[in-house]
């Protein structure tokens, strides 16, 4: 296990994020927010809570010398339409020059033209079957998203983002990894639980969701199938912890899966 952790690479998306540097109180790299609306209704999502609060307002959040910008951290950006997303992409490139643009999407409305314009396309996929996709998202788009994973993987660096939710999707993770094996990365994230997401709290196996050992064991298993990555900031902290604790001790560690609402700490600057 220790060797597995040592060999793990940072996800490409995490490059240029303060989360993988030694700064105090790191912030996520800049984002351009388009909407907090979504065409899915995922049981774990913080955008649902954001929408109820009317947050965040659209526009650019972050410093004015970015190396990478995510479109977007909240909501489903492609709901704005292909033309509008391409207009924003063009304007950001004109304004900032050499930047990496990362798209964060549920993949339902993805098109080849959109994929061509982003250095990284990150597609959320938390189920390995149509039935389970429906249970998690309340929508019937599983096959369409799987097709779009293949399409995007043939065009640009494609990352499949999966939230580890024991009791909900753990039996499907291998199937998700098989789907992600055509992509460049499978990014497995520990779940964050918000008190407003009542259905998630009812269904999740909290003990396993909070176990570091469980997360690492599953990550190692999936790495046999796809190019596995874990959040860069999580990996940085694991490597730091390994300097003071044995891997056997770390496997017994737990994390608090309950999280506060993720407000954007970066400054709002402008809307294009
Ligand atoms: S996972 Fe962590 S390091 Fe990676 S982009 Fe997000 S905050 Fe930054």
Mean pLDDT by 10 residues, the chain (272 residues): 96 93 83 94 83 83 96 96 98 97 98 98 98 97 98 98 97 98 98 90 96 98 98 95 97 94 86 96
Burial of 137 (0-12, 13-18, 19+ CB in 10 A): buried
- 2-261 CATH fold: TIM Barrel (3.20.20)
Q: Is 69 in the pocket of ligand 1 (CB under 6 A)?
A: no
Q: What pLDDT does 139 receive?
A: 97
Nearest atom (ligand 1) to Cα of 236: 3
The protein residue whose alpha carbon is closest to atom 5 in ligand 1 is 14
% of the chain beyond a pLDDT of 90: 86
Q: Output the CA 114–ligand 1 centroid distance in Å.
A: 23
Torsion of CA 13, 106, 222, 12, to 10 degrees: -10
Which of 15, 22, 28 is the best mutation target for the ligand 1 pocket, counting ligand atoms within 8 Å of the beta carbon and taking the most?
28
Q: Which tokens belong to 206?
A: 């909290």
Per-residue pLDDT, 255? 96
State residue 87's pLDDT score: 98
Predicted local confidence at residue 263, as pLDDT: 77
Q: Which atom of ligand 1 is nearest to the CA of 232?
A: 3
13 lines ligand 1 (CB under 6 A): yes
Residue of minimum CA distance from atom 2 in ligand 1 = 233
Ligand 1 lined by 28 (C-beta under 6 Å): yes
16 lines ligand 1 (CB under 6 A): no
- Is ligand 1 within 6 A of the CB of residue 231? yes
Nearest residue (by CA) to ligand 1, atom 4, is 14
Distance 18 CA to ligand 1 centre (A): 8
**By the 8 A CB rule, do 32 and 241 touch?**
no
Q: How far is the CA of 207 from the centre of ligand 1 (A)?
A: 24
Centre of ligand 1 from the C-alpha of residue 131, in Å: 30
Residue 166 beta carbon below 6 angstroms from any ligand 1 atom: no
Closest C-alpha to 108, from 142, 159, 69: 142
Q: Is 229 close to ligand 1, i.e. is its CB under 6 Å away?
A: no
């Amino acid at each position: 296990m220790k060797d597995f952790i040592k060999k793990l690479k940072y996800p490409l998306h995490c490059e240029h994020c303060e989360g993988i540097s030694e700064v105090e109180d790191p912030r996520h790299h800049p984002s351009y927010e388009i909407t907090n609306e979504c065409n899915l209704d995922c049981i774990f999502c913080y955008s649902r809570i954001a929408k109820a609060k009317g947050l965040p307002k659209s526009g650019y959040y972050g410093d004015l010398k970015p190396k990478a910008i995510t479109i977007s951290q909240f909501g489903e950006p492609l709901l704005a339409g292909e033309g509008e997303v391409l207009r924003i992409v063009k304007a950001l490139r004109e304004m900032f020059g050499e930047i990496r643009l990362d798209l964060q999407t549920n993949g339902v409305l993805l098109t080849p033209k959109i994929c061509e314009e982003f250095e990284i396309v990150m597609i959320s996929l938390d189920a390995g079957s149509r039935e389970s996709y429906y249970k998690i998202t309340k929508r019937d788009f599983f096959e369409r998203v799987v097709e779009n994973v293949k399409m995007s993987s043939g065009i640009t660096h494609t990352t499949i983002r999966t939230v580890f939710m024991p009791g909900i999707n753990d039996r499907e993770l291998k199937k998700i990894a098989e789907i992600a094996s055509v992509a460049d990365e499978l990014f497995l994230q520990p779940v964050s639980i918000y008190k407003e997401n009542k259905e998630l709290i009812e269904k999740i196996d909290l003990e396993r969701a909070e176990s570091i050992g469980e997360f690492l064991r599953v990550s190692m298993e999936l790495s046999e199938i796809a190019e596995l990555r874990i959040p860069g900031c999580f990996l940085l902290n694991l490597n730091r912890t390994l300097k003071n604790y044995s891997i056997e001790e770390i496997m017994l560690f737990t994390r608090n899966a309950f999280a506060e609402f993720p407000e954007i700490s970066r400054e709002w600057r402008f809307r294009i």
